[in-house]
Amino acid sequence: MSPSAAHILVLDDDADVAYAATLLLRRHVARVDSLAHPADLPRYLQGATPDVVLLDFNFAPGQTDGAAGLAALRQLRALPQPPAVIALTAYADVALAVEAMKAGACDFLTKPWDNARLLATVDQACARRADAAPAVPGDEDALMGDAPSMRHLRNLIAHVAPTEANVMVLGENGVGKELVARAVHRQSRRAAHPFLALDMGALPEATLESELFGHRKGAFTDARHERAGRFQAASGGTLFLDEIGNLPLPAQAKLLTALERREVTPLGADRAHAVDVRIVSATNLADDALHDPAVFRPDLLFRLNTIVIQVPPLRERRGDIPLLLAHYLAHYQRQYGRAPRPLADDALDRLQQHDWPGNVRALRHACERAVILGQGDQYVANDFGLAPRASSVVAPPAEPASLKLDALERDAVAAALDQVQGNISRAARLLGVSRAALYRKLDKHGL
């Protein structure tokens, strides 16, 4: 989901906080609503379903236990299509952050927040809701399929999950690496504890230590409040480090130290804190780049890849495409209230022959497009955004100038991806756009 199309709800009893968040977010998302108390939530949900909720956890003077916020979080998570929930707290309480993660929050922010940090967190919440949350509760989306490679993948997860071994998930963009990480956590002995995902490619190096290890008040210029790091917030559970291949070498050294010592020292603190987390990491780096010491430290790789899980691209399991099409078309027909329609035989043939550079993510978006835009009694190939086959008899009309601009943009995006070996974060920086904007261009051009 693009953040620009997102619907955000701010649930906070502080009118100034709610206004500040609304003022910031409404320039970046489609809709922002605010509520002052969880008691207003049931009536609100009768007429609206937000994509992301910024949820305060204390709604009475002097209250610090977060009970009201946790109750609201459980209510939101019980919805048929639950929103991504970002916990807000003015107290930076590690125990409350952990409790929120256990109850289903996807991330947390401390007040007052940094505006760039809030926008980045909302951006990531939108992306994860689209890419990682099950389309139908209980399903495993990209892990569906009867291909031998998918049966092997599920079997490997079942054997690895109950252990404490660190896991590295490899695969192209859109194959479902975070879904694999969540499956490992869900089938592990840590399932009752938090699963916390962190996009390492989106972390500025200057804030890496604060994000991972936390900081004390006054540790640096803008450190107005104590903040728990991700290692502490994921205590007892699983920390998923996505896009690990984007981490600069100096930052890799700091992460390695934490993993070797199994302890972290928050910025400004005078003593280390022991941490108990299982690390699952993911990257789309090619094998030669991953084993290049100039790109990735061998000693860190040794710590992370005790078990390697390779997720196959969709083009290598084309026999699963009919199953995935049926699953996603049925889901989006229900979501948009559209009557079921069959796939034309020619459309199914075209869809199975397509290479799907964006893998299951691209197929899912194509199904949503078909359900929204398809007009006939059957789904045809054009409904999915596949270009029509050229006629051998009639020459195609001359391409308008606007399409030439589109072609230039497609070529630039493709060249950037090729230059950075498919790494989304690095390609976005190379093109001078955000990750969310790049994902939109990938969908637009079928890359």
Q: Determine the pLDDT at residue 1.
A: 54
Is 136 inside a domain boundary? no
C-alpha gyration radius of the chain: 23
Residue type, 286: A
According to the model, what pLDDT value does residue 371 have?
A: 93
Query: Does 239 lie in the same domain as 291?
Result: yes
171 near 313, Cβ under 8 Å? yes
| One domain for residues 325 and 204 | no
Predicted local distance difference test score (pLDDT) of residue 4: 67
Domain assignment present for 394: no
CATH at 323 = 1.10.8.60
| CATH number of 222's domain | 3.40.50.300
Within a domain: 339: yes
Q: Do 203 and 349 sit in the same domain of this protein? A: no
- The per-residue pLDDT for 137 is 38
Same domain? For 120 and 230 the reply is: no
7 shares its domain with 107: yes
Note whether 304 and 322 are same-domain residues: no
Task: Round to whole Å and give the CA distance between 145 and 316.
Answer: 12
Q: With b meaning 16 or more CB within 10 Å and e meaning fewer, what string describes 291-323?
A: eeeebbbeebbebbbebebbbbbbeebeebbee
- pLDDT of 273: 83
Of the residues 64, 97, 130, the one at which a domain ends: 130
Same domain, 251 and 361: no
Comparing CA positions, the residue from 238, 266, 269, 76 lying closest to residue 169 is: 238
Residue 170 and residue 117 share a domain: no
pLDDT of residue 157: 95
Number of structural domains (the chain) is 4
The CA distance from 179 to 195, in Å, is 12
pLDDT of the residue at 418: 67
Q: Identify any residues that bridge with 279 across adjacent strands, giving them in sequence order.
A: 239
> Which pLDDT score, from 0 to 100, does residue 436 have?
60
In the chain, which stretches have pLDDT less than 50?
132-142, 390-395, 401-402
pLDDT of residue 270: 79
Per-residue model confidence (pLDDT) at position 401: 45
**Same domain, residue pair 237 and 306:** yes
Task: Indicate whether 145 and 294 sit together in one domain.
Answer: yes
- 389 part of a folded domain: no
State whether 58 and 197 are in the same domain: no
pTM, two decimals, is 0.67
- Residue 191 counted as domain residue: yes
Question: Is residue 392 a part of any domain in this protein?
Answer: no
pLDDT at 347: 92
Q: In this structure, what CATH number is given to the domain that contains residue 30?
A: 3.40.50.2300
Residue 57 shares a structural domain with residue 189: no
Domain coverage including residue 92: 3-130
